[in-house]
Amino acid sequence: MRVGLEVDGKARTADDVEVGESLLFLLRERLGLPGSKNACEQGECGSCTVYLDDEAVCACLVAAGQADGRRVVTVAGLSGDDGLHPVQQAFLDAGAVQCGFCTPGLVVAVHDLLRRTPDPGDAEIREALAGNLCRCTGYEKIFDAVRAAAR
Amino acid sequence: MTTVAPPAAPAVTRTPDGVGEAARRPDGIAKVRGDFAFSSDLRHDRMVWGATVRSPHVHARIVTVEVDEALAMPGVRAVLTAVDVPGVNRFGLEQRDQPVLADDVVRYAGEPVAVVAADDPETARRAVERVRVTYEPLPALTDPEIALSGDGPPLHEGGNLVRHLRIRRGAPRAGAAVVVTGEYEVGMQDQAFLGPESCLALPAADGGVELHCSTQWLHVDQEQLAACLALPPDRVRLTLAGVGGAFGGREDLSVQAHACLLALRTGRPARMVYGREESFVGHVHRHPARMRYEHGADADGRLLYVKADILLDGGAYASTSHAVAGNAGCFAVGPYEVPSVEIDCRAVYTNNPPCGAMRGFGAVQVCFGYESQMDKLAAAVGIDPVEVRLRNAVATGSMMATGQRIEGPAPVAELLRRVEEMPLPPSLPASGGADVRLLPGGVANTTHGEGVRRGVGYGVSVKNICKSGGYDDFGTARVRVGVAGDEIVASVHTAAAEVGQGLVTVQAQIVRTELEIPSVVVLPADTAVGDAGTSSASRQTWMSGGAVRQACVAVRGRLLDRAATALAEPVTGLRLAGGRIVSDRSGQSVDLRDLLAVEDVDETAVFRHRTTEPLDPETGQGDAHVAYAFAAHRAVVDVDVELGLVRVVEVACAQDVGKAINPPAVEGQMHGGIAQGVGLAVMEEIKVRDGRILNPSFTDYLIPTTMDMPSTRLDILELPRADSPYGLTGVGEPPLLSAPAAIAAAIRAATGREVPRIPVTPDALTS
Amino acid sequence: MTDTAAFLRPATLDEACELKAAHPDATPIAGGTDLMVGLNFGHTRPAALLDLTAVPELRAWRRTDDAVELGAGVPYARVVAELGDDLPGLARASRTVGSPQIRRRGTVGGNIGTSSPAGDALPSLLADRAVIEVRSVRGVRQVPAGEFFLGPGRNVLADDEIVVSVRLPRARGPQQFAKVGTRNAMVIAVASVAVSLDLTANAVACAVGSAAPTVVVPEPAETYAADHLDWSGRTPLHPEVAARFGELVAEGTSPIDDVRASADYRRHAVSVVARRLLGWAWAEAVRPRGTEGTR
């Protein structure tokens, strides 16, 4: 089947998409946009978090066909050509990046959190990011990044 | 290539983004933008996709492998079995005992038997199902005790004992006023790195292969691959692709040989990417351990002897079992002065999933054992758990169980005092009303304070840094300085694997400090430069950092030589200062750009740490270790004692790092190590029944989420070593080592239960 | 790729029913939070997918005098945000589902269709005697939640039927839910319990998840609690009553040992949690409105 969607502001189409294929596979393999990561493909780790229309979701749990006609924003769509989004800058400043595999998904999840809750408390941050696993950082500097970006 | 003796440690002055500064990661911007290319992101227009046929049996003879049906499928380009391995069909880090593709026998469930290449991943997946393998099941050996007894079927030539390390020191056990015994178990932990095993292999014009992969050690991969592929090493060229975490799980080969075979057979680039389930069977795990301890002490709690019997289940292949058993044995008594030791540490083969390297490498398991014993001893003597540790703590000059004297800093008592003196987190409100998110069970709303008891526990630990036992370990670095435009640029090239720890940052920091050149490019790691050794054993900043520093010293020497010629002055009295070389004698100076106008300076250096020796095979005595590192932990937990649910409230960690080359990166290592310690203490275990993994997914192999990570308090000591670059010591492993032990102790304090096994489960805390 | 495979995307409920009738082997997909895992891992390869996310009727809920009709495609995040007053038990349960990302996609209808005894929404549905509306080209059926589930992954849906909505009574008293798991977030239930009080009918409702082949309703426990609560005087719950209630709830289960926990632990946890939930629910009933102390 053919799937047409908007990704990071650009209209895209993919052909020969299989019925059970995920939006994550479509983005990474059919469209060659590897910014969203493939860590578990079962919705447990959040590494593939993208906006589908206005909702931050796991791209691995969206069937590619379900994204037809919809708007997707990945981590690559958050920063303009002129530099980094404040959330991205905060991750850098706080040292919240180690191996970086969870980072794209976390940046989107934090972007979404701060859009909804501009000044989240610690427990709110923890609850909002519970769907994004990080194996390197122990999350502490990610929390620092959230607090810094909220300022 | 120049080999340079270790330089005397000069006083380190501050350089912007140099050593000791909070320099930014050079790969950070790409990582936050999603532009950084991890190994699973690599692709090629003409590539085929590889997939692996794996044994469903734990132990079986392979009768036939029929590939015709799979090969006949449209889009399938190759199906390869053991007969297609051109070289030696064996690989392995310590012993080449593991088949690239199983030939006669499979020894664990999930062992690769064949690989297929197809035009797309779905076809590859379907082709895997059409490879018909006929097995004749063999008796399975899944109990390490039976493996040790010799009653099970021999899984390898020479039997099922991989190693028996005996350590004997001091007079036999004398009469002790207090004797405590215990049996402890540690479950099988997984590295659970987020980036799945993956690579892209490209066939090369010279008949060789270019492999882009995530690994911890490019050259050891190269050496094994060359043998398997029957190619000279220079025709197996590796480049490090982005590594999504490692933690020991990428020391052994996984996809590498298979992808190379497929690329060479099909003449097309071959890509392999494991899914999460396959990842769980595709790499080694932390050895499960069974430990029996007996500690004897005088009435004041001073240790007189320790007897330890440790059994590690190595699974189907050796991997690093020999060295893990070495560590578990060497550190079986912990950082304590013990006059008499009797340690037997064994690793065995079974038909369980292979086990090998994971952060902490044998020292984590025994730490849970010896620290549990120290708490028992404290209780038996009637003193405080910290006090019993202080009374027995090693210090510089103390003798370890292996008879080696500790030469470097050994601030065990200081670290313990520091964690003890840190303020405790606030108690829960007595009247209820706490945020459920911060209670055991979290948002699942299992308690509003009912049944919740708080406990505090301590742990302290020791581990070797760098490789041990006489291993000739070294790092290689090439540093080149030239002019680009009007700017002086240094490039640094090593084969050292950046796995997330921040090595690329450290390399650039060292060059900035040594050469005072702000603009430093860290080149991609590959096998075009000499061996860097492994990014494990907390050694890489020491070893590759040391090599980078030596290369810089050589570069500086060359620059001074050129300046001496240019200024017509002797080299002595010349020094580097802010992009110029200055003569203190004459006041003359010359711009580096002028010195580099004709030709770059390019130096390669090899750095070695001091030599060590193997342990005596009878007594386990010897100066086997380069250095020791220490950490202390204090854990505070809330346990819902009725439901057995635990929330780790806070973990404090004090660690001596010698010199923090990049302080925020050190903190990051400590946070991350603590998180993995929390996981091992309360949730992480690969559950194996009859040799099969029951939970190969992130749904059932649970790692800590943001709701599980405790808050942390860190205290970083910088007691410089005399024998390492800048006085540093390795930082990656210690923050994990005694975290599980401290958490287990805190759970004991909260519940009054014994907690003889980690990870502790709600079942165990309530039955 | 199989040539016969199809991705069906109806725009109306009628169209959805027609497509399901024409493709009885098509697997419905909404949030995809269960189904996509099987697809990604290659464990399932359905002949066709019936995407229900574009059917507006499924994505709405409406309030009647005494009930809420909840479209099968309403995601958990909306249940949490919009239905906390009407369906506090289901809203609490919804908050424990997976992660924020999963709650934005996953739906109560998906939980019903998947029919796992560990479905986080299901205890609330059974406790509150919800009625599940299923529809096909042949017509509409109203199936009580207690009769819908036959076993793990099995239910009474015919090949041509889809789950349209679930009707739950609006809360007539405090409702509680708790889930026991071995991690403090994002965990599959080892056991889960829903308890609702009906302060109008002086009734107690309860259901237990992950402790039997289907979610179970421990009726003797419900009756016992209803008989022993002081509905008119609203005096505090006697600890022995709460404990006995917990025991009776646990007696209504038939758990198994599996990779997540033992049967014994499940039984024990159910009794503890049921006891606590009854206590919290009753405390809410006793307490004047607006003084709830915990979140």
Q: What pLDDT digit, counting tens, does each position of B150-188 carry?
A: 999 999 999 999 999 999 999 877 789 999 999 999 999
Reported confidence tier of residue B15, pLDDT bands at 50, 70, 90? confident
Estimate the crossing angle of helix B663-682 against helix B739-751, to 10 degrees.
50
CB-CB neighbours of B476 under 10 Å: 26
Indicate the pairing of strand B236-240 with strand B209-213.
parallel
B43 to chain C, any CB pair closer than 8 A? The answer is no
Does the distance separating the beta carbons of A137 and B276 come in below 8 Å? no
Phi, psi of A20 (to 5 degrees): -95, 10
Tell me the sheet residues that pair with A46: none
Selected residues 256-315 of chain B with any CB under 8 Å from a CB in chain A:
273, 275-276
Phi, psi of C3 (to 5 degrees): -65, -30
Closest Cα of chain C to B431: distance in Å? Answer: 10
**Closest CA relative to residue B464, chosen from B660, B617, B610, B327:** B327
Which chain B residue has its CA at the smallest distance from A133's CA? B705
Closest Cα of chain B to C159: distance in Å? Answer: 27
Residue with token string 């192999």: B701
pLDDT for position A79: 87
Does the distance separating the beta carbons of A63 and C185 come in below 8 Å? no
Reported confidence tier of residue C288, pLDDT bands at 50, 70, 90? low
pLDDT for position B1: 37
Element (H, E) at B313: strand B303-313
B157 to chain C, any CB pair closer than 8 A? The answer is no
- Chain A residues with CB inside 8 Å of C114's CB? none
- How many interchain CB pairs under 8 A, B with C? 105
> Mean of the pLDDT values across residues B90-114?
97
Q: Which structure tokens are listed for C278? A: 């009854």
A26 to chain C, any CB pair closer than 8 A? The answer is no
Does the distance separating the beta carbons of C53 and A42 come in below 8 Å? no
Closest Cα of chain B to A63: distance in Å? Answer: 15
C188 to chain B, any CB pair closer than 8 A? The answer is yes
Does the distance separating the beta carbons of A98 and B501 come in below 8 Å? yes
Does the distance separating the beta carbons of C264 and B643 come in below 8 Å? no
Residue C3 has pLDDT above 90, yes or no: no
B759 prior amide bond cis, ω within 30: yes
> Mean of the pLDDT values across residues C26-53?
94
- Chain B residues with CB inside 8 Å of C265's CB? 644, 762-763, 766-767
Q: Where are the alpha helices (DSSP H) in B620-738?
A: 663-682, 734-737
Closest Cα of chain C to A84: distance in Å? Answer: 24
The C-alpha atoms of residue B694 and residue B281 are separated, in whole angstroms, by 11
pLDDT for position B14: 76
Does the distance separating the beta carbons of A65 and C37 come in below 8 Å? no
Reported confidence tier of residue C5, pLDDT bands at 50, 70, 90? low
The C-alpha atoms of residue C59 and residue B124 are separated, in whole angstroms, by 38
pLDDT digits (tens, 9 = 90+) for B457-507: 999 999 999 999 999 999 999 999 999 999 999 999 999 999 999 999 999
The C-alpha atoms of residue C271 and residue C205 are separated, in whole angstroms, by 15
Residue B13 burial by Cβ neighbours in a 10 Å radius (0-12, 13-18, 19+): exposed
CB-CB neighbours of C266 under 10 Å: 28
Closest Cα of chain C to A80: distance in Å? Answer: 25
Does the distance separating the beta carbons of B698 and A92 come in below 8 Å? no
Residue C294 has pLDDT above 90, yes or no: no
Residue B2 has pLDDT above 50, yes or no: no
pTM, to two decimals: 0.97
> Mean of the pLDDT values across residues B732-754?
98
Estimate the crossing angle of helix A86-94 against helix A140-150, to 10 degrees.
140
Q: Which residue from C1, C181, C190 is facing B122, i.e. has the nearest CB?
A: C1
Q: Which structure tokens are listed for B29? A: 């911007």
> Mean of the pLDDT values across residues B116-131?
97
> Mean of the pLDDT values across residues C63-80?
97
Does the distance separating the beta carbons of B676 and A137 come in below 8 Å? no
B27 to chain A, any CB pair closer than 8 A? The answer is yes
Residue with token string 């080449």: B96
Percentage of chain B modeled with pLDDT above 70: 98
Residue B5 has pLDDT above 90, yes or no: no
B690 to chain C, any CB pair closer than 8 A? The answer is no
B502 to chain A, any CB pair closer than 8 A? The answer is yes
List the chains bordering chain A where 3 or more Cβ pairs fall under 8 Å: B, C
pLDDT digits (tens, 9 = 90+) for B415-454: 999 999 999 999 988 777 789 999 999 999 999 999 999 9
Name which of A3, A47, A57, A125 to mutate to probe chain C: the one with the most chain C Cβ atoms within 10 A of its Cβ. Answer: A57
Which chain C residue has its CA at the smallest distance from A49's CA? C101
pLDDT for position A148: 97
The number of helix segments (H) and strand segments (E) in chain B equals: 18, 32
> Mean of the pLDDT values across residues A125-140?
98
Q: Which residue from B40, B672, B698 is facing A38, i.e. has the nearest CB?
A: B40
Indicate the pairing of strand B757-758 with strand B178-186.
parallel
Does the distance separating the beta carbons of B27 and A100 come in below 8 Å? yes
Query: Which residues are within 8 A (CB) of B585 and not within 5 positions of it... i.e. 6 or more apart?
Result: B569, B573
Query: Which residues are within 8 A (CB) of B14 and not within 5 positions of it... i.e. 6 or more apart?
Result: B20, B21
**Closest CA relative to residue A97, chosen from B192, B668, B23, B507:** B668
Name which of A61, A117, A129, A133 to mutate to probe chain C: the one with the most chain C Cβ atoms within 10 A of its Cβ. Answer: A61
Does the distance separating the beta carbons of C31 and A131 come in below 8 Å? no
pLDDT digits (tens, 9 = 90+) for B545-561: 999 999 999 999 999 99
By the 8 A CB rule, do B479 and B490 touch? yes
Residue B11 has pLDDT above 70, yes or no: no
* Cα separations in angstroms, B365 against B186, B474, B680: 6, 28, 10
The C-alpha atoms of residue B490 and residue B559 are separated, in whole angstroms, by 13
Q: Where are the beta strands (DSSP E) in B100-251?
A: 105-106, 112-118, 132-137, 161-169, 178-186, 198-203, 209-213, 236-240
Residue B10 has pLDDT above 60, yes or no: no
C187 to chain B, any CB pair closer than 8 A? The answer is yes
Closest Cα of chain B to C13: distance in Å? Answer: 32
Length of chain A: 151
- How many interchain CB pairs under 8 A, A with B? 177
Q: Where are the alpha helices (DSSP H) in B13-136?
A: 28-33, 68-71, 121-130
Residue B731 has pLDDT above 50, yes or no: yes
The C-alpha atoms of residue A42 and residue A24 are separated, in whole angstroms, by 11
> Mean of the pLDDT values across residues C208-218?
97
**Closest CA relative to residue B672, chosen from C184, A113, A99:** A99
Q: Which residue from B25, B676, B703 is facing A133, i.e. has the nearest CB?
A: B703
Tell me the sheet residues that pair with C191: C180
pLDDT for position B428: 86
pLDDT for position B8: 47
Does the distance separating the beta carbons of A68 and C9 come in below 8 Å? yes
Estimate the crossing angle of helix B385-392 against helix B412-421, to 10 degrees.
160
Residue with token string 């908007």: A6
pLDDT digits (tens, 9 = 90+) for C95-154: 999 999 999 999 999 999 999 999 999 999 999 999 999 999 999 999 999 999 999 999
DSSP B693-712: ES--STTTS----TTTPPEE
pLDDT digits (tens, 9 = 90+) for A60-116: 999 999 999 999 999 999 987 778 999 999 999 999 999 999 999 999 999 999 999
Q: Decide which of B432 and C253 is more confident.
A: C253
Residue A144 has pLDDT above 60, yes or no: yes
**Closest CA relative to residue B416, chosen from B458, B380, B353, B473:** B458
Q: Where are the beta strands (DSSP E) in chain C?
A: 6-8, 26-29, 48-51, 61-63, 67-71, 131-136, 139-144, 149-151, 154-155, 162-169, 175-180, 191-198, 203-209
